[in-house]
Amino acid sequence: MNIIYSDLHLAHQPNYEIYDGRRSAYPEVAARVDSIITELRRLGIGRITKPTHFPLRHIYAVHQKQYVDFLRQCSKNLANNEELYPSYFISDTYAPLTPGTFKASLTAVDCALSGAQKILSGQPIVYSLCRPPGHHAAHHTMGGYCYFNNAAIAAEFLANHGSVAILDIDFHHGNGTQAAFYNRRDVLYLSIHADPAQRYPYSSGFSDECGSGPGEGFNFNYPLDLATTNSQYLAVLDSCLSEIKKFNPDFLVVSAGFDTFIHDPIGGFALTQDVYREIGARIGSLKLPTLIIQEGGYNVEYLGKLIGNFLSGFKLNQGSF
């Protein structure tokens, strides 16, 4: 297994989000990545390499150029420790700009694209440790701790070489990713997440959103109750996996969020530590060339363990094919 990681994410260190009208501590912290990389090194389950740099045209395939320019210019103009919530190009109050935001976001995209490149060169499984996460970033909006949609950019890159299924297992619906491919039939999007009637992003992720135009029937949402248990979750995952089998893609992209964990401070179904090994094993049993993109997960103490379990289960079951 290849693991793509860069410490350039450290450039992005927001201090606060605006939640319910008040400033509160920013949960998407750099320590999340320390928790992950420390555990993956301890487990020794993959070779850790740095990303290579890719041209901006791959980002323009998903995001509006004016939005990308805005992010670059705004980051550049901010003073040290300054934090800005702009009044446009943003969909909520959970994605502040800091001086290092553009650099870190660009590096996260490079991690995703470097992973996709390795998949194209024949690697069966790559884990891209992206930070900031990406699945809430849309065509011209940042939001939900996301700036560039790492998974969508990588999927678009892979779609030039074959069909792609994106399986999003973050606690929150990947509204940005869904929107990017909503009218496409060459990229299947499936998401298992908290019922948007109860949790962010509130406005999308309902089960009747099935795609439009040529993409009708190629978008699947599985909104779940907050009390969902391990066995209930695995049953829904199995439904997802059978849709992926029917679609029979050339590549699989997993938007891997771990805020489904019972003790996650901002998400949390009733899922326990060990189920992540089984989730990984079941996805791995598809035996597809798979790019795993890091999304959310905010329990810093447990995050590394959850991902270690997930990747161990995945690797064990996927084997070589």
Catalytic residue among 58, 63, 135, 136: 136
Cβ-contact 152, 158 below 8 angstroms: no
Q: How many chain residues touch Zn ion (CB under 5 A)?
A: 6
- Closest CB to Zn ion among residues 17, 259: 259
92 or 170: CB nearest Zn ion:
170
- Can you tell me whether residue 79 is helix, strand or coil? coil
139 is catalytic: no
Instruction: State which of residues 17, 39, 110, 170 lies at the interface with Zn ion (CB under 5 A).
Output: 170
**By CB under 5 A, is residue 172 in contact with Zn ion?**
yes
Residue 80's CB is within 10 A of a number of other CB atoms, namely 7
How far apart are CB 133 and Zn ion at their closest, in Å? 7
Distance CA 103, CA 106 (A): 5
Shortest reach from residue 284's CB to Zn ion, in Å? 22
CB 68 within 8 A of CB 59: yes
Nearest to 176 by CA among 142, 202, 206, 207: 142
When asked if residue 296 is in the footprint of Zn ion (CB under 5 A), the reply is: yes
Q: Which residue is nearest to Zn ion (CB)?
A: 296
Strand partners, 165: 188, 252
3-state secondary structure of 287: coil
Q: Which of 67, 171, 233, 276 binds Zn ion (CB under 5 A)?
A: 171
Alpha helices in 135-217 (DSSP H): 150-159, 175-181
Task: Based on the shown chain and the rule CB under 5 A, indicate whether residue 193 belongs to the binding site for Zn ion.
Answer: no
Q: Within a 10 A sphere around the Cβ of 241, how many other Cβ atoms?
A: 17
- Shortest Cβ distance from residue 195 to Zn ion (Å)? 14
Closer to Zn ion by Cβ: residue 296 or 304 = 296
Site for Zn ion in 249-268 (CB under 5 A): 257, 259
Would you state the structure tokens that stand for residue 130, as one six-digit string? 């992206």
**Residues at the site binding Zn ion, with contacts judged by CB under 5 A:** 170-172, 257, 259, 296
Residues annotated as catalytic are: 136
